[in-house]
Amino acid sequence: MTAALVAGLVAGYGIAVPVGAVATYLVALTARTSWRVGAAAALGVATADGLYALLAVVGGSGLTHVVEPIAIPLRCASAVVLIALAAHSGASAISRYRERRTAAARTEAARIGPARAYLGLLGITMMNPLTVLYFAALVLGGQTAADPTLLEQAVFVLAAFAASASWQLLLAGGGALLGRALTGDRGRLVTAMASSTLITALAVHLLISVP
């Protein structure tokens, strides 16, 4: 039981901690909107990680043969979606700055909402098939002569979800603090453009690294 708990926590943090385009977008989204929206988005990312951990536990090695043929198209689609989000974010920031609408952040928060943020980040994260391969490799590598029980499998999945959720919520908290610290028009413009540039660069890296 303890081994399954530790393995799940390690697996969850292992996939969540490396900062990529999704994490960058999560921080920027929270900074532009509110903690509630950011927390919902963070739980969307964690839900995707938890679902992939569940798929890996249930499917095992069979998932590798299913995912590999569509891994590259999904990766490209994920990169395109992130680039579109970055472009929209940058364009919105420039528009708000030019029009000097100081209430823009509140309007955006109302327009996005926690439910939309949750589903959006869940969908983007689910488009990364490498996550299920990661979990499948860990599950298969950690198997012993005795098959894990259903309880141990459940503990592994829940621990992976909890680890991912705690890290994503930490990132959202950082975005909320950033949003409070940079409430002026110029500060919001600079942070939005910086995050859009970084997200675009990370998404382009995904595209050019496709074999």
pLDDT of residue 1: 73
Q: What does R_g of the chain's alpha carbons equal in angstroms?
A: 18
Instruction: Find how far residue 117's CA is from the centre of its chain.
Output: 11
User: Angle 43-116-22 (CA atoms, 0-180°, nearest 5)?
Assistant: 55
Please state, in angstroms and rounded to a whole number, the distance separating the CA atoms of residues 5 and 1. 6
pLDDT of residue 177: 82
Q: Tell me the C-alpha to C-alpha distance, in Å, between residue 46 and each of 13, 15, 88.
A: 10, 10, 24
Q: State the greatest distance between any 2 C-alpha atoms of the chain, in Å, as a whole number.
A: 66
Q: Sketch the domain layout of the chain as residue ranges.
A: 2-208
Please state, in angstroms and rounded to a whole number, the distance separating the CA atoms of residues 44 and 34. 16
Contact 59, 136 (CB under 8 A): yes
pLDDT of residue 37: 92
Amino acid at 170: L
User: What are the residue ranges of helices labelled H in 60-149?
Assistant: 62-99, 104-126, 130-141
pLDDT of residue 3: 77
CB burial class (10 A; 0-12, 13-18, 19+) of residue 59?
middle
Instruction: Find how far residue 112's CA is from the centre of its chain.
Output: 17
Contact 207, 79 (CB under 8 A): yes
Contact 108, 92 (CB under 8 A): yes
Please state, in angstroms and rounded to a whole number, the distance separating the CA atoms of residues 45 and 49. 6
Contact 49, 161 (CB under 8 A): yes
pTM: 0.67
pLDDT of residue 145: 43
Tell me the average confidence (pLDDT) per consecutive run of 10 residues in the chain, 211 residues long.
Answer: 79 71 83 89 93 78 59 69 71 69 51 88 80 62 58 87 92 81 60 68 69 60
Please state, in angstroms and rounded to a whole number, the distance separating the CA atoms of residues 78 and 126. 9
